[in-house]
Structure 1
Amino acid sequence: MNKKYQNGFFIFGIIVLGIMITQLDFHQVWEGLRHAGYWFIAVVMLWAFLYLFNTSAWYIIINSQDRKEGQKKVSFAWLYKLTVSGFALNYATPGGLMGGEPYRIMSLSPRIGPERASSSVILYAMTHIFSHFWFWLLSLFLFIFTQRVSMPMAVLLTVTGAFCVLGIWFFISGYRKGLANRVMKFLGHIPLLKRWALPFIESHREQLDTIDRQISALHKQSPKTFVSAVLLELSCRFCSALELFFILLVLMPSANFLQCVLVLAFTSLFANLLFFIPLQLGGREGGFLMSTTALGISANAGIFVALIVRLRELLWTGIGLLLIKFDKKA
């Protein structure tokens, strides 16, 4: 990647991270870290493991695509670095995908070409979001089988289930027909983006068609690759509930892993509905508080969980931003 753009991503991320750190109550942070003890280290190390799932899903997507002459093979270690940095930018950027995905495309393009880089990044982003919808849908059934369901809760679960099914249908349709042209046409109907999107579609129609063909090829020609990538991402969702399990063990030695899955599902759904907020500030904490109390866990425990998770996110965001400066060849 061009050093100018690399430095731009790095400086922007550091500024936003610095602003978010200033919003912390440092006394509360210190007390939380003292209380968590070595479990905080376990939580941080867990994410070094979880990012392996994300990288593996993206790695098999890239390797499933036809490699043209002159394009390099991307190493897993370099892609892991790119994965962590990309998520760091997504965490720090309002709109989520507006930060990490352009960075990934620009980093990959010199190695595998712009069309292949764009399609692999779009495919991975689709798979990442697609797995969230499956995680939320499966968690609904888990809730029904393990918790008492009142009438208001039944209505909420029905609405949420319909939302998840609609999301799954949308992405399956996108896998079959491609998504690049559809997204650009959608942007072409938004007043503030219309002037940019329509000329872009006309001048890049061939590239967009190529990207869509590569997206649909994964679903049609490589079903094993498609299923493997989705299962890796879905496994990552369930394994990430270990983070909440580790934190709750500090307060509740009898903490239940299944409850942690439900807390994570509800919180991530609530936070993603507020995707336009950097790091889902406030939304994530509110989601933890509501989901923990709804499952019979004390409000103080919910606040403690939210604090430790926020500190872990800030730490890994800082690590990811620093990795932007170590952009060695794959």
Structure 2
Amino acid sequence: MAAVTKSWFITGASSGLGLEMALSALRAGHRVIGTGRDIQRAAVNHPEFETLGGQWLQLDLSQPSAKEVIEQTLAQEDAGLKPTEKRHWVIVNNAGSSLLGAVEDMSENQITAYLQFNIYGPIRVWKAALPILRQHRQGTLITISSIFGFVSKSEHMMYSACKAATESLTESYADLLSPLGIRVLLVEPGGFRTKFAANASQADLGITDDYAEKIEAWTCIVNSAAKDETIVSGDPEKFGERMLQAVDGLGLFERLWANHEGGKALRVQLGSDSYELFGARLGELSKVHAETAVVAKSTDVHS
């Protein structure tokens, strides 16, 4: 039987959760290609990545050329396969950014730039990587979303909207990829002690007066988290460990995968805050679903 080599391709691997995933995979002996917009700075700040065997890739997902760069990188990696080896690619869409404010307070240019990175970026990764995974007839596709992709957050609605869109696309792909031996994992983190909050941008046209109180209150919370990471309880290192377990099908994920329905994305919340918000939203939806049964059925054609 051919030996299986696991190779990870992780966008946004130069910091935060992406970096922790990369380091966990490298420590386990897997290959890792990590992308970033400034890999020179990443290499200086995190020398352990290359020491463990990681490979940096300069990549701007907001550019259409990103697809070709990814295709060439994965093909070069596969070219080194020995006849006795098989490749299990782990493709992780992790890169993303937060944008605070209401959409009507954002210029067309800001909205376009945000969509290019947060929607078109993941799509470019899929378009480049999935043909290779289908060729191998195995692999793992991971989308790092947010609990706010399922529980919409008005104060950063564009962030929620983009996460919701990528969640839907991820779930759709799971149905197509399952028969080809490719597993799909959808992860909804809560608050983790990273620099993510510090990198949030704001609507470039200001704040509409009617929305100011709510948006400014949330912005204050985000700014506080940026200054003091201990406000949230998520441990980034444990996040990386869980993602490694998910890919290897071990530990806490062994039972989850064993009981998982094929053709569906395995949706996992990481962080007690995420789990509680998800449960509360499920309860709301279930209540409304039950209450609207009569209304829903009232539009059926009756013979």
Question: TM-score scaled to structure 2, two decimals?
Answer: 0.27
Answer 1 or 2: which has greater helix percent: 1
Between the two structures, name the one with larger relative contact order (CA 8 Å, sep ≥ 6).
Answer: 1
